[in-house]
Structure 1
Amino acid sequence: MRKVPVGPTTAGAGLTGDRVVAAGSAARTLVAVTARALRGDDCGDLGHPGPLSRFTGAPEPVRSAAAARAAGRAALSPGQVADVDAEGVAGWFVDQYPARRWPGAVLGSPHGAAAHLAVALGVPWLPAGFEVAAHWARGAVDRPDAALDHGAALAGRLLAGNARVHVRQVHCPASRGASAGATVSLAVRWRSLPTAYARFLAEGLEPGAPVLLLHDARTWPVRDEGSGHSFQVGCPASGLDPVDFHPDAHALRQVLRSAGGDGARWTPADVTSPAAFAENGVESGFEHDAREWGGRHGHPLHRVVVPQPDALSAATADLYRRWLRRAGKTGDRLVVECGRLLDPWQVLRAGLVPYWCENATRRRVQGVEWWLAGSEPFSSVDVLPEPPGVRSPALAGLPQWLAVAGFGRRRRALDRGSARGYPVTAVPTRRATEVLRNQPYDLPVPPPLRMAEALAALRDAGAHQGLLVS
């Protein structure tokens, strides 16, 4: 088994992939949980209570200030941003997987269901980009124009040493709270297949093994002047619409008040494209390069275009249910995961059907409610709501989460540890492992899915959800 290193070292800087990729970011978490599941491990070592745990009951201004300080301390300095090596980060991702021959691979946009799908297929999942958090010394959560100026300078430093990436800056106080005024969030997306990925696939894929590319097709207004750096205010994961980030929007005023900002100071930057792919989209050059590489090496590439996260979550849950039942299991026990609260190995070990909510916004929780309402009933429903650590008018309340659990016929469980202090607490990934370890064993694990079966199931289950499988 390959030993997982701390991370690649950037030449002359000693900067590791572990240090570069933002803690708690989606790509980082999903690679970690997928790699562990493929090794037969759970996620009991992922995440520990952070420094904000002692501020749970503190007044909002105190808690927001503590969150901003913690985010600033963890972020990269401007000098470190210049030392980021995107190719080294790709190497760090692939080095987390065991050295073996794989029957395929899943690449693309971060999505919890992609991790579950990869584990069912017995293949690795690799992201098409990663997130970097950079320090903003004199930042302000209510000044997106200042965030753009600062972020453009940081992006220029990063791009100077990484010509094959695009940097999408996201200023979103609705999803990041006070930390949006202490750090700049940079979504670094590869514009071609990283050399480390190509080498990993060439050495690890079985002959003719297919590659599946997942593409988050959500759009958002963007400012992009063609320099390799683009900027967006807000994001789809906020649960709000672009219009809600207008200075006169009531939702924006609520968000800024909670994050310690002032709506009167909000001056958004002009956009050049009203509908570009949002931060989790896949660069066209990455897809083109992956397809060309697969054609040269005999590995067909299939693409799944995801219009909303709920579509892939529902289709994957339906796929798991059919897969489990074909192996002689009931497929009647559901776990609803959220954000970083997931553990694919424990799901597999217990024979559970997983449904993943991107976050705790009302839209994502409504997605699982609609899916449950149209599905064959489950005998048990366990719900793991990840507290986002911020307040927002777009968030689901605990009663809505309890309504999800209420779909269980015999067992209806909402994790109390996740609900305690919701929505302003922070819960580590290992909380999901602690909860799921209490589920009864349902072994042996079903034989791995074949890619052809998975694609057929996604076409069948996802057609009415808007999934495009090609």
Structure 2
Amino acid sequence: MKLPREVASFDSASAMVMATARFLRDRATPPLGTPAGRLLRPLAVAANRLPVGARETIYSLASGAEARPAARLATLDIEDVAASIVGLYPRRRYPAVVVGSSSGALVHLCAALGIAWLPQTLLLPLRQRHVPTDDPMRALHAFDATARALLTRNPHFVLHHMHDPSQDRLTSRRMAYFRVKRTRLGPAYERFLTDTLETGGVLLLAECTRRWPTTRVGERHVFQFGAVGGLEPSQYHQGDPRIAAFLRRYGIERARWEAPRPDGDSPEAEWGFDPALREDVVAFARRHGYQVRRLTFDDPEDLSPLVADLYRWWNRRRGLPTNRLLVDSFILLEPWWTLRTGCVPYWSTFPVQSSADALAHYLHQSDAYDFIHLMLFCHGAESAGLATVDQWQALLQQARVAGSFAGVEPGRYPSDLATFFRYQSALRAIPARHPIPEPLPLREFDGFFAQHRHRYPAVDMEG
């Protein structure tokens, strides 16, 4: 089970597709989405003994190794990638299939319901060598020719060229982020749906409404400066004390970046849903007698309290303990082990201040947990808006019995390279074991949401 090399394995969409597909095949998800990933653990452990600067260089080299040459992406047929995605899933009848935005909470929802998820957005990592990380003006038009060729070959996609010198500081040294959003289901997705969706089944559109200021580069091509992950759009463009302090750490005496002026806004590159796809899904469903429903949410993390409460309710009904919370972080998530250990999953977008605040709010309004296990995605460097270890430790102290980090060494955060391998060992160390349950019927999720929807004002479901 693997995706083509033209798709970044460390991205939300690819990692979450892999986790969902492997769960539906009754398999755990190995490190970095592939069994071969385990072979890199000794190297990551050894690299952790190096100074921070050396670890940053290794992180940059390792992540940048996924980037593909411009000439290769210019000729890519993204439908070949879509065929690989649907090929990951077992061929059986599903009562529903989700199409649309990424969210780790959505992965756990799909696991509970026993259904597949098809992403609208994919990250195509493009090799980048001569664009300084802190020069978004230069990044703006660095790959226009490649973009035109890619879009000409793939007419039903929109390209979001994303450049974030904070969250993606180390990866941006060696790769540009080309995120493509489909505006049509396309042949591969359509074949999968007609082959696997039950008669009269549900096409559930996952629509994250998050938008971001963008600069128009060409037809179906926008440039997004900054991204979800610790800072708001205005802070990227207007400056902020945290940005000034962040830049000083890298020897740059400026209060902000000089960036292209936005001339509009668009669905956020990684998480936002492009509504053009909805029209095609509705037309396809009418032709084939399927239902269409919309699950809308403001931010990718907004689904997390809903799904956590759903699992807690489900565990209680199954006669399992409901006192153990597992906090995922970005692509560090594992639906199979979550159910095997009887954990309640709560997914956080990134280990940033806004995610820490959201988790604090959830813990405040929920019944207390005896145990809290916390993963922290380490992107290698101190980004602006990153929450501190002390802040995460304070949240762990809200556990009535014990709170613990799952796979990350606090003293090496956020450049703990081994966390990508140790988090699964931390999950396997949880002593409880339960059988994987039969899928929760969609109508029971509907009933749960209808009864509790007042608790989730940023989430809605229509249809």
TM-score with structure 1 setting the length: 0.90
Q: 1:307 aligns with which of 265, 289, 298?
A: 298
Question: Amino acid of the residue matched to residue 437 of structure 1?
Answer: R
Partner of 1:296: 287
Residue 143 of structure 1 pairs with residue 129 of structure 2: no
Residue 325 of structure 1 pairs with residue 337 of structure 2: no
* Cα 1:468–1:193 shift into 2, 3 Å: same
* Cα 1:427–1:135 shift into 2, 3 Å: same
Compare 84-93 and 63-72 and name the one that shifted more.
63-72
C-alpha deviation, 1:124, in angstroms: 1.0
- Residue 387 of structure 1 contacts residue 419 of structure 1 at CA under 8 Å; is this kept in 2? no
- Residue 193 of structure 1 contacts residue 290 of structure 1 at CA under 8 Å; is this kept in 2? yes
* Cα 1:447–1:60 shift into 2, 3 Å: closer
* Cα 1:187–1:320 shift into 2, 3 Å: same
Question: Amino acid of the residue matched to residue 31 of structure 1?
Answer: V
> Helix, strand or coil for the counterpart of 1:363?
helix
Q: 1:387 aligns with which of 355, 370, 378?
A: 378
Q: Following the alignment from structure 1 to structure 2, what is the Cα–Cα distance between the partners of residues 74 and 446? A: 36
C-alpha deviation, 1:312, in angstroms: 0.3
Q: Following the alignment from structure 2 to structure 1, what is the Cα–Cα distance between the partners of residues 441 and 124? A: 35
> Helix, strand or coil for the counterpart of 2:107?
helix
Q: Following the alignment from structure 2 to structure 1, what is the Cα–Cα distance between the partners of residues 50 and 234? A: 32
Identity within the alignment, %: 30
Residue 276 of structure 1 pairs with residue 266 of structure 2: yes
Partner of 2:220: 228
> Helix, strand or coil for the counterpart of 1:104?
strand
Partner of 2:7: 21
Compare 421-430 and 116-125 and name the one that shifted more.
421-430
* Cα 1:255–1:377 shift into 2, 3 Å: same
Residue 468 of structure 1 pairs with residue 454 of structure 2: no
> Helix, strand or coil for the counterpart of 2:338?
helix
Q: Following the alignment from structure 1 to structure 2, what is the Cα–Cα distance between the partners of residues 240 and 24? A: 21
Residue 249 of structure 1 pairs with residue 240 of structure 2: yes
Residue 31 of structure 1 pairs with residue 14 of structure 2: no
Partner of 1:402: 393
Q: Following the alignment from structure 2 to structure 1, what is the Cα–Cα distance between the partners of residues 249 and 45? A: 18
Q: Following the alignment from structure 1 to structure 2, what is the Cα–Cα distance between the partners of residues 304 and 61? A: 43
Partner of 1:335: 326
* Cα 1:100–1:428 shift into 2, 3 Å: farther
> Helix, strand or coil for the counterpart of 1:42?
coil
Residue 86 of structure 1 pairs with residue 78 of structure 2: yes
C-alpha deviation, 1:290, in angstroms: 1.3
Compare 110-119 and 323-332 and name the one that shifted more.
323-332
* Cα 1:67–1:384 shift into 2, 3 Å: closer
Q: Following the alignment from structure 1 to structure 2, what is the Cα–Cα distance between the partners of residues 266 and 314? A: 35
Question: Amino acid of the residue matched to residue 348 of structure 1?
Answer: L
Compare 105-114 and 61-70 and name the one that shifted more.
61-70
Deviation track 1:334-378 (CA, whole Å, cap 9, x = no partner) reads 111111211100111111110000110011111111111110112
Question: Amino acid of the residue matched to residue 426 of structure 1?
Answer: L
Question: Amino acid of the residue matched to residue 337 of structure 1?
Answer: D
Q: 2:406 aligns with which of 392, 415, 418?
A: 415
Q: Following the alignment from structure 2 to structure 1, what is the Cα–Cα distance between the partners of residues 253 and 131? A: 13
Partner of 2:104: 112
- Residue 246 of structure 2 contacts residue 384 of structure 2 at CA under 8 Å; is this kept in 1? yes
Q: Following the alignment from structure 2 to structure 1, what is the Cα–Cα distance between the partners of residues 20 and 312? A: 19
Residue 74 of structure 1 pairs with residue 66 of structure 2: yes
* Cα 1:334–1:380 shift into 2, 3 Å: same
User: Gaps spanning 5+ residues in structure 2: where?
Assistant: none
Question: Amino acid of the residue matched to residue 267 of structure 2?
Answer: F
Q: Following the alignment from structure 1 to structure 2, what is the Cα–Cα distance between the partners of residues 153 and 263? A: 31
Partner of 2:194: 202
- Residue 376 of structure 2 contacts residue 408 of structure 2 at CA under 8 Å; is this kept in 1? no
Deviation track 1:109-136 (CA, whole Å, cap 9, x = no partner) reads 1111111000100111111110011112
- Residue 47 of structure 2 contacts residue 417 of structure 2 at CA under 8 Å; is this kept in 1? no
Deviation track 1:231-286 (CA, whole Å, cap 9, x = no partner) reads 111012x210122223643333333445676648942111111x432112222221
- Residue 96 of structure 2 contacts residue 115 of structure 2 at CA under 8 Å; is this kept in 1? yes
Partner of 1:358: 349
> Helix, strand or coil for the counterpart of 1:454?
helix
C-alpha deviation, 1:418, in angstroms: 4.6
Question: Amino acid of the residue matched to residue 32 of structure 1?
Answer: M
> Helix, strand or coil for the counterpart of 1:18?
coil
Q: Following the alignment from structure 1 to structure 2, what is the Cα–Cα distance between the partners of residues 151 and 459? A: 47
Question: Amino acid of the residue matched to residue 22 of structure 1?
Answer: A
- Residue 334 of structure 1 contacts residue 352 of structure 1 at CA under 8 Å; is this kept in 2? yes
C-alpha deviation, 1:24, in angstroms: 0.4
* Cα 1:67–1:348 shift into 2, 3 Å: closer
* Cα 1:71–1:192 shift into 2, 3 Å: same
C-alpha deviation, 1:220, in angstroms: 1.2
Q: Following the alignment from structure 1 to structure 2, what is the Cα–Cα distance between the partners of residues 54 and 242? A: 37
> Helix, strand or coil for the counterpart of 1:74?
coil
> Helix, strand or coil for the counterpart of 1:210?
strand
C-alpha deviation, 1:420, in angstroms: 4.7
Compare 46-55 and 214-223 and name the one that shifted more.
46-55
| 1:430-449 equivalence runs, <5 A | 430-449=421-440
Compare 254-263 and 30-39 and name the one that shifted more.
254-263
- Residue 83 of structure 2 contacts residue 188 of structure 2 at CA under 8 Å; is this kept in 1? yes
Question: Amino acid of the residue matched to residue 339 of structure 2?
Answer: L
Compare 358-367 and 398-407 and name the one that shifted more.
398-407
Question: Amino acid of the residue matched to residue 380 of structure 1?
Answer: F
- Residue 239 of structure 2 contacts residue 257 of structure 2 at CA under 8 Å; is this kept in 1? no
* Cα 1:53–1:157 shift into 2, 3 Å: farther
Q: Following the alignment from structure 2 to structure 1, what is the Cα–Cα distance between the partners of residues 256 and 128? A: 18
Deviation track 1:3-59 (CA, whole Å, cap 9, x = no partner) reads x4x5xxxxxxxxxx4201112000110011111111111123534448776554655
Question: Amino acid of the residue matched to residue 172 of structure 2?
Answer: A
C-alpha deviation, 1:326, in angstroms: 1.4
Question: Amino acid of the residue matched to residue 23 of structure 1?
Answer: S
Question: Amino acid of the residue matched to residue 89 of structure 2?
Answer: Y
Question: Amino acid of the residue matched to residue 297 of structure 1?
Answer: H
| 1:55-74 equivalence runs, <5 A | 55-56=47-48, 58=50, 61-74=53-66
Q: Following the alignment from structure 1 to structure 2, what is the Cα–Cα distance between the partners of residues 256 and 153? A: 31
* Cα 1:53–1:165 shift into 2, 3 Å: farther
Question: Amino acid of the residue matched to residue 35 of structure 1?
Answer: A
Compare 424-433 and 321-330 and name the one that shifted more.
424-433
Q: Following the alignment from structure 2 to structure 1, what is the Cα–Cα distance between the partners of residues 251 and 189? A: 42
CA RMSD across the alignment: 2.3
Partner of 1:13: none
Partner of 2:150: 158
Deviation track 1:402-460 (CA, whole Å, cap 9, x = no partner) reads 22222221232223535351012234654332211122344333331122222343344
> Helix, strand or coil for the counterpart of 2:403?
strand
